[in-house]
């Protein structure tokens, strides 16, 4: 049963029971209507309480039914709210833990609302590129006021119930047992008539026209490419300027328009992709997990320090191992400074600062980390260095400890082979800065134990990362794809573009940063080191030599004050470099390439479709479990524009046939071998299908 019906004396109690958050799926909606009707027909019942079992009142729509016929089947949420609002006996919503989206809209349709302290109240639909579609934009301003309602709906941010106590949203905040408090309140109002309805309230806001205009201007400036925030303002404005039923109709029209926008489709795709990424088909939910109560990190550099901070932030003690005292002290000092900066910004209290810094300790002895439950190495990206570390870890770590490598490109199976316990070895590829970036590529070796995989995935959630599983290959999902993107960026320089034009074109497309600005930030010497290895391992793969020439000039990026761009002391802003531009133009002449004018469209297509083609190859090889996992890697780790949904989703929206046609056109140019469509891409395009 998705909702249970019980009678307690003269009060009927309808308890939503659809774990984990009592989503308002079709069966739950039907059960609510049935329960209300049953209570109305029972002469012994004087009032009705609606509450939620478990961890929520209701989190809103049932995401399992999104994009399915059940989502629109009667009774819809509109119908449920009509039945509740027009009930002849008082209906009281008893809210605890979470009332969000449709759950809050249902509560607003009730005659009264009582709540326990700490309940999270929100209308977060804007985060999916839509707006509340069951009266939320019309009813919320009537109970919390125009300004607060607008802020809540445009931001989608939850507000604690006690902060709303002075508004008309809650008739009572219940101390102690919520169910007992709700029953007592229901009996108190059982005889009150007429029954109060939120729809009958007026939104009172003097000089609302000026406030709404100010809101439009502010939201327009902040909304970027997303249409939903501005539409939220218009819907909320209707609560003041229109009669209730007209406002409801207007809200519905805006909602239906937004559902069809590419931005909303992309945001909804990302929402589901994030949830899907945590599911590993051959590792069922009940897989036993290892207990992680302490962590060790090898290396106190930028990456090792960032990794350690993630665990300290989650309250898990961390020991950092370094070989030299100076390096250890420098690393711990950097961590302390990072936390101090967060505290200065008001995002961390003194207590939390001391707690987190106190959880991170340093050592120069492997014996001190032997009892850690998981050890993550963050040493130099070289197989020889990794080998010496893993042989030592195999020797000293307790049985059952997870041995993780933060490698970004190297063979995790080979690393596991340096130990006598390959089942305990896994790749945990953090992205820099590790304490900020959301992505964690979890690399599953051929012999990685299912319990190790399940534990690492659960750990990624605990440290607030989006964990995405990858198989073993050179560069895994993200870096293997970015190599093709970077190759095309280099070829574009040889053929006629300059770094600034390439970066501006992809940033206009929506990337957080173009390839050359990204190279300067990460350090161009890292790519140079990897390419030198590639020249030996894969002599058949061609690269532009411009990046090598740049590094030979000692221009490694921001850390040396010069890269593809020039930088000024204390200023991270990139300034186009005449020296670099001259080098690029001379290089084109040296290799006999006549430079031409390259359009921004060509730049974007070549960079993005290079990602898509390699992504299709990765999918076909089983390195990624699903296309949406690839999208998650790019949305959370590489600054791909969220409103485009990730490279694979973007390719679907362009049409795979169009992607293949563009690739065939570029195959006629230089380095045409890079444009052979991956078999899966060619097959799906020919069949008119999509990746997702």
Query: Token match 């508004």: residue?
Result: 167
d(CA 333, CA 328): 8
Interatomic CA distance for residues 95 and 16, integer angstroms:
11
180-195 b/e (C-beta count within 10 Å ≥ 16 → b):
ebbbebbeebbeeeeb
Contact yes or no for 473/623 (Cβ under 8 A): yes
**CATH label, 478-686, candidates 1.10.1040.50, 3.30.70.1290, 3.40.630.40, 3.30.390.30:** 1.10.1040.50
pLDDT score of 285: 87
**pLDDT at position 270, please?**
96
H-helix or E-strand spanning residue 576: strand 571-576
Indicate the SS3 state at residue 674. helix
Q: What digits encode the pLDDT tens for the residues 531-553?
A: 888 887 788 888 999 999 999 99
pLDDT score recorded for residue 135: 98
The mean pLDDT value for 508-532 works out to 91
3-state secondary structure 52-93: ECCCCCECCCCHHHCCCHHHHCCCCHHHHHHHHHCCCCCEEE
Rounded CA-CA distance 404/442 in Å is 10
- 301: three-class secondary structure by DSSP: coil
Reported as a single tens digit per residue, the pLDDT across 605-631 is: 999 999 999 999 999 999 999 999 999
% of the chain residues with pLDDT over 70: 100
Domain 295-470, CATH 3.40.50.720 — does that match? Answer: yes
Reference 419, options 396, 437, 453; nearest CA is 396
Helices (H), 345-424: 350-359, 383-396, 412-416
What's the rounded Cα separation, in Å, for the pair 464 and 477?
20
What pLDDT was estimated at residue 532?
A: 85
- Say if residue 638's pLDDT is above 90: yes
CATH 1.10.1040.50 residue window(s) in the chain:
478-686
Q: What is the structure's pLDDT at 24?
A: 96
Return d(Cα 332, Cα 359) in angstroms, integer: 11
Say if residue 246's pLDDT is above 90.
yes
Identify the bridge partners of residue 574 per DSSP, sorted by sequence position: none
Question: Is the CB of residue 318 less than 8 Å from the CB of residue 441?
Answer: no
Per-residue pLDDT tens for 360-405? 999 999 999 999 999 999 998 889 999 999 999 999 999 999 999 9
CATH architecture of the domain with range 3-259? Alpha-Beta Complex (3.90)
Is the per-residue pLDDT at 66 higher than 80?
no
* H, E, C per residue of 497-534: CCHHHHHHHHHHHCCCCCHHHHHHHHCHHHHHHHHHHH
Coil/strand/helix, residue 469:
strand
pLDDT at position 530, please?
82
91 bridge partner residues:
48
DSSP string, 433-457: STTT--EEEEE--TT--HHHHHHHH
Q: Rounded mean pLDDT of 45-49?
A: 98
Over residues 467-482, the pLDDT tens digits come to 999 999 999 999 999 9
Q: Is 689 helix (H, G, I), strand (E, B) or coil?
A: coil
Q: What pLDDT, on the 0 to 100 scale, is given for residue 529?
A: 84
Residue ranges, CATH 3.40.50.720, the chain: 295-470
Residues 17 and 162: beta-carbon distance below 8 Å: no
**The pLDDT of residue 91 is above 90:** yes
Tell whether the model's pLDDT for residue 483 goes beyond 90. Answer: yes
Which band of pLDDT confidence, cut at 50, 70 and 90, is reported for residue 441?
A: very high
The whole-number pLDDT of residue 7 equals 97
In this model, does residue 570 exceed pLDDT 90?
no
Average pLDDT, the chain: 96
Q: Residue 511 — very low, low, confident or very high, per pLDDT cuts 50/70/90?
A: very high
Tokens (6 digits) for 492: 């574009």
Give the integer Cα–Cα distance in Å for 674 and 488. 9
Torsion 639-641-643-647 (CA) sign: negative
Report pLDDT for 71: 82
**Confidence grade of residue 496 (pLDDT, cut at 50, 70, 90):** very high
Query: Helix crossing, 302-313 with 325-344: angle to 10°?
Result: 50
Give the pair of three-digit tokens for residue 269: 């795709």
pTM of the model: 0.93
Residue 60 φ/ψ region, left for φ over 0, alpha for ψ in the -120 to 50 degree band, beta for the rest? left
According to CATH, where is 3.90.226.10 located in the chain?
Answer: 3-259
* In contact, 678 and 614? CB cutoff 8 Å: yes
| Helix, strand, coil share of the chain (percent; to 5) | 55, 15, 35
The verdict on whether omega for the bond into residue 20 sits within 30 degrees of 0, i.e. cis, is: yes
Tell me which residues are annotated as active site.
Answer: 105, 125
d(CA 692, CA 163): 41
């Amino acid at each position: 049963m998705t909702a249970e019906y019980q009678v307690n004396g003269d009060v009927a109690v309808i308890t939503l029971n659809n774990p984990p958050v009592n989503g308002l799926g079709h069966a739950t909606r039907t059960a609510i209507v049935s329960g209300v009707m049953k209570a109305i027909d029972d002469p012994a019942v004087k009032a009705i309480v609606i509450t939620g079992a478990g961890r929520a009142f209701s989190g809103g729509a049932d995401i399992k039914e999104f994009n399915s016929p059940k989502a629109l089947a009667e009774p819809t949420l509109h119908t449920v709210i009509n039945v509740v609002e027009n009930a002849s006996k008082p209906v009281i919503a008893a809210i605890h833990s979470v009332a969000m989206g449709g759950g809050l809209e249902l509560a607003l349709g009730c005659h009264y609302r009582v709540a326990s302290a700490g309940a999270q109240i929100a209308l977060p639909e804007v985060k999916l590129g839509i707006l509340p579609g069951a009266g939320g934009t019309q009813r919320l301003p009537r109970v919390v006021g125009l300004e607060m309602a607008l802020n809540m709906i445009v931001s989608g941010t939850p507000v604690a119930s006690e902060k709303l106590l002075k508004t008309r949203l809650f008739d009572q905040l219940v101390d102690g047992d919520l169910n007992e408090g709700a029953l007592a309140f229901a009996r108190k109002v059982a005889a009150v008539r007429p029954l109060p309805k939120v729809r009958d309230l007026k939104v009172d806001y003097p000089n609302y026209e000026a406030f709404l205009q100010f809101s439009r201007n502010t939201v327009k400036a902040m909304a970027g490419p997303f249409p939903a925030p501005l539409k939220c303002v218009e819907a909320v404005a209707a609560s003041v300027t229109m009669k209730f039923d007209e406002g409801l109709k207007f809200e519905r029209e805006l909602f239906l328009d937004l559902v069809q926008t590419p931005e909303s489709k992309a945001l909804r795709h990302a929402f589901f992709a994030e949830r899907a990424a945590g599911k590993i088909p051959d590792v069922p939910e009940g897989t036993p997990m290892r207990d992680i109560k302490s962590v060790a990190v090898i290396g106190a550099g930028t990456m090792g320090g960032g990794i350690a901070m993630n665990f300290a932030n989650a309250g898990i003690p961390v020991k950092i191992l370094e070989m030299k005292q100076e390096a250890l002290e420098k690393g711990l000092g950097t961590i302390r400074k990072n936390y101090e900066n967060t505290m200065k910004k008001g995002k961390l209290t003194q207590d939390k600062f001391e707690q987190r810094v106190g959880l991170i300790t340093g050592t120069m002895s492997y014996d001190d980390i032997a009892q850690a439950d998981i050890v993550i190495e963050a040493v130099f990206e070289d197989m020889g260095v990794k080998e010496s570390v893993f042989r030592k870890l195999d020797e000293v770590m307790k049985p059952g400890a997870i041995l993780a490598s933060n490698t970004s490109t190297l063979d995790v199976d080979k690393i596991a082979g340096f130990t006598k316990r390959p089942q305990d070895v896994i790749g945990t590829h953090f992205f820099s800065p590790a304490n900020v970036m959301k992505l964690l590529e979890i690399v599953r070796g051929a012999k990685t134990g299912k319990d190790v995989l399940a534990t690492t995935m659960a750990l990624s959630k605990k440290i607030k990362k989006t964990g995405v599983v990858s198989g073993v290959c050179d560069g895994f999902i993200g870096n293997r794809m970015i190599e093709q993107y970077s190759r095309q960026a280099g070829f574009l320089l040889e053929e006629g573009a300059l770094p600034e034009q390439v970066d501006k074109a992809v940033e206009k497309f929506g990337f957080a940063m173009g390839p050359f600005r990204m190279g300067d930030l990460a350090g161009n010497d890292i790519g140079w080191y990897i390419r030198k290895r590639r020249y030996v391992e894969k002599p058949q793969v061609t690269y532009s030599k411009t990046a090598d020439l740049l590094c030979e000039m000692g221009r490694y990026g921001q850390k040396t004050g010069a890269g593809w761009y020039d930088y000024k002391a204390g200023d991270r802003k990139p300034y186009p470099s005449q020296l670099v531009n001259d080098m690029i133009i001379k290089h084109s002449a040296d290799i006999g390439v006549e430079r031409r004018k390259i359009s921004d469209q060509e730049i974007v297509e070549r960079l993005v479709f290079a990602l898509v083609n390699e992504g299709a190859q990765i999918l076909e090889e089983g390195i990624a479990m699903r296309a949406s996992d690839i999208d998650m890697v790019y949305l959370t780790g590489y600054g791909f524009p969220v409103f485009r949904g990730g490279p694979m989703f973007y390719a679907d929206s362009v049409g795979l046939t169009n992607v293949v046609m563009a690739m065939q056109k570029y195959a006629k140019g230089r380095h045409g071998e890079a444009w052979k469509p991956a078999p899966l891409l060619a097959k799906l395009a020919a069949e008119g299908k999509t990746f997702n």
